Chain A
Amino acid sequence: MSLNLEPYTSKSLMEQFFTQLTNGLAVGGIYALIALGYTMVYGVLKLINFAHGDLFTIGAYLGLTLLASFHLADHLGVATALFVLALMVMGLVGIIGILLDRVAYKPLRTSPRLSAVVSALGASIIFSNTIMLVFGPSPKVYPQGLLPTQVLYIFGLPIPIMRLLILLASIVMMIGLYVFIQKTKTGTAIRAAAIDQDAARLMGINVDRVIMLVFFIGPALGGVAGLMVGLHYGQINFTMGWIYGLKAFTAAILGGIGNIPGAMVGGLLLGVIESMGAAYISNAWKDAIAFFVLIVILIVRPTGLLGERVAEKI
């Protein structure tokens, strides 16, 4: 048990709680970004893209490679460099996402749904092992000193500026996606395809293009989440995708899979639950907390917090 009861004053207890809260929200923002990829693909194809976690890992490794090989920070200044880097990572991982769909999922559109799940598992193994063969099995370290390390004080409570930036960046991207899905014509097409592909096709919507777009946006967000993890935590390894992926999937289920605001709420909530659980229950059981949440939610309310129940037709 990591709970230390001895010398805390009420202020430091408050501080500790606040630290855990902001920490949880920052991690939760990352979970939410990854969860969006699961939820968007699920919404349109009813497929759990098990390789999505590895796209996140690819994002982290691509970010590191691009950062190191182009010396972006030297040429452009840190802020612009990170912005360009994020765009490059999003674009590249998005393209890998489209390729993944073309090779591993598209031939299986008419097969039983579980065939595609097995194929996704295969793709996940391919991705993580390719990363291992290219970059080696040991963890990689992001260059240090690039990012601000200052700590802001809000009402006297400390918050590292990086955490705030991570949280803000993920919220901005989520809101951007939400507006795109709700307000644009393409977004409407995605929503229509998610409800009924055949009907959408009859209405003149190019469903194949929608699927392609979904397989671009989801992985792009997952990839940029990988970059953020690399920048924030400094260390990355080739198996990180599956644990982050599973937790992000839990977040998607928690919020209601297929539901975009659900993924955001689920991600933030799971981040906070996990962070609080690690601090106040047991740090050693931290990873198990997310799995408990996953199992409980699937047993008690498989449609998630924001999902709707649908009766199965017989």
Chain B
Amino acid sequence: MIDLRMIIYAAVSVCWLVAPLFLGNYHTDVLNNIAIYALLGLSLNIILGYGGMFHMGHAAFFAIGAYATAIINTSYGIPVLWLLPLSGILAGVFALVVARPIIHLRGDYLLIVTIGMVEIVRIALVNNVFGLTGGANGIFGIASPTIFGHQINGIVNPKHYFYLLTAFLAFTITVFYLLEHSRFGRALKFLSSDSVAAEGSGIDTSGYKLAAFVIGAFWAGMVGNLYAGKITFISPESFSFWESVVMFMIVILGGAGSIPGVLLGAFLIIGLPEYFHGLQQYRLLIFGFALVAMMIFRPQGILPPKQHTYATDNASEKKVSS
């Protein structure tokens, strides 16, 4: 069983890596979008999947990373990739400030407050807050990233950008996998399963909820940086409430708390409609039906998380199917 799973993962990875060799620029750009949303989905998964917090304002953190990159790059000419950590830090600090008073809210209230948060951020961007964000028109002329003097232009040559994104995606998958199977990841799963029991077992539930928000936002901010460097022009449109809904759907439909699930979700929701152009206008309708049907028939998502087995000295541990 495990072997088969590994073979599938390996085959999918190889296909992903060689795909741009056989695809034109347009379809490679679709892969780039899948990678961006996969990254966003994985960062949201920390909050929504492991932490079980119904957060529908993730686009706000994404926006802060992208705008931080755009503003600093266009005003001071600092190279985009140098701003990667700073974009993450600014988004993380924002999350720390806004999430602190709301993390104790019950699931459905949290959902609606985070919608309010992302809308306020969007309205602030449209209103050209502090005279920095360029209002409804956004910011033009963001430089493409350069690596060792080699420019990686996401528009002219999406294939180069594909490998930049893929490298970051591989890094993200690795560290998030390690995070999932650690004291930190377990604490989030405990508190989402039963927060009273988690607190009663000695877990600082508020602290961990906040930490999940900060890490998720930090990552979304970094993805914002890569996104700004890719399309070189950003506007408030790209960070609306609907973007948050799309990220939310990727996690819920793919499988909350499951890295392979989120990756599959990003492919289905971002990639599939691009390859079936006739379905484009029915895209959201189909996703709406999928959400309802999924909750009724398979609430854990398409690829739910697998039971983790721990290496023990005790041979009595049995494998269970969940």
The chain A residues found within 8 Å of chain B, CB to CB, are: 47-48, 103-104, 107-108, 111-119, 121-127, 129-130, 133, 242, 246, 249, 253, 284-285, 287-288, 291-292, 294-295, 298-299, 302, 314
Contacts and interface: CB of A to CB of B under 8 A. Distances in A.
21 contacts: A48-B111, A48-B112, A113-B107, A118-B295, A121-B291, A122-B290, A122-B294, A123-B292, A125-B284, A126-B289, A129-B284, A129-B285, A253-B109, A288-B119, A288-B120, A291-B119, A291-B120, A294-B112, A299-B101, A299-B102, A314-B196
Nearest to B98: A295
B245 A298 contact: no
Interface of B: 54, 101-102, 105, 107-109, 111-113, 115-117, 119-120, 123-124, 126-127, 196, 241, 245, 248, 252, 281-282, 284-285, 287-292, 294-296, 299
Given A111-B299, A246-B112, A285-B127, A123 B107 contact: no
B292 A246 contact: no
Contact of A288 (B123, B294, B299): B123
B202 to A, nearest CB: 16
Nearest to A127: B288
A38 to B, nearest CB: 10
Nearest to B197: A314
A294 B113 contact: yes
A34 to B, nearest CB: 14
B54 A117 contact: yes
Given A116-B295, A118-B291, A295-B116, 6 more contacts: A111-B299, A122-B290, A122-B292, A284-B123, A287-B123, A294-B112
The 5 closest A-B pairs by CB, nearest first: A122-B291, A125-B288, A291-B116, A126-B288, A122-B292
Contact of B296 (A108, A130, A253, A298): A108
Contacts of B123: 284-285, 287-288
B107 to A, nearest CB: 5
B113 A295 contact: yes
Contacts of A133: 281-282, 285
B288 A122 contact: yes
A129 B288 contact: yes
A104 B291 CA distance: 10
B120 A108 contact: no
Contacts of A123: 288, 292
A310 to B, nearest CB: 12
A133 B280 CA distance: 12
Contacts of B124: 288
Contact of A121 (B107, B127, B245, B299): B245
Contacts, number: 108
A114 B107 contact: yes
A168 B115 CA distance: 32
A118 B127 contact: no
A242 B116 CA distance: 12
Contacts of B111: 48, 117
Most chain-B Cβ atoms within 10 A of its Cβ — which of A291, A292, A302, A314? Answer: A291
Nearest to B128: A284
A103 B299 CA distance: 15
A114 B108 contact: yes
Contacts of B291: 118-119, 121-122, 125
Contacts of B108: 47-48, 113-114, 117
A249 B119 CA distance: 15
Nearest to A47: B108
A114 B116 contact: no
B295 A298 contact: no
Contacts of A114: 54, 107-108
Contacts of A298: 102, 105, 109, 112-113
Contacts of A124: 288
A222 B155 CA distance: 46
Contacts of A288: 119-120, 123-124
A115 B111 CA distance: 13
Nearest to B281: A133
Contacts of B54: 114, 117
A108 B288 CA distance: 16
B206 to A, nearest CB: 14
Nearest to B196: A314
A122 B289 contact: yes
A215 B282 CA distance: 27
A294 B116 contact: yes
Nearest to A129: B285
B299 A115 contact: yes
Contact of A119 (B109, B117, B295): B295
A111 B289 CA distance: 18
B252 A118 contact: yes
Contact of A292 (B120, B126, B241, B284): B120
Contacts of B281: 133
A102 B119 CA distance: 31
B159 to A, nearest CB: 34
A48 B252 CA distance: 18
B274 to A, nearest CB: 18
Given A129-B285, A298-B113, A108 B102 contact: no
B113 A111 contact: no
Contacts of A299: 101-102, 105
Nearest to B102: A299
A44 B203 CA distance: 34
Contacts of B107: 113-114, 117
A255 B296 CA distance: 32
Given A115-B299, A123-B292, A294-B116, A302 B109 contact: yes
Contacts of B285: 125-126, 129-130, 133
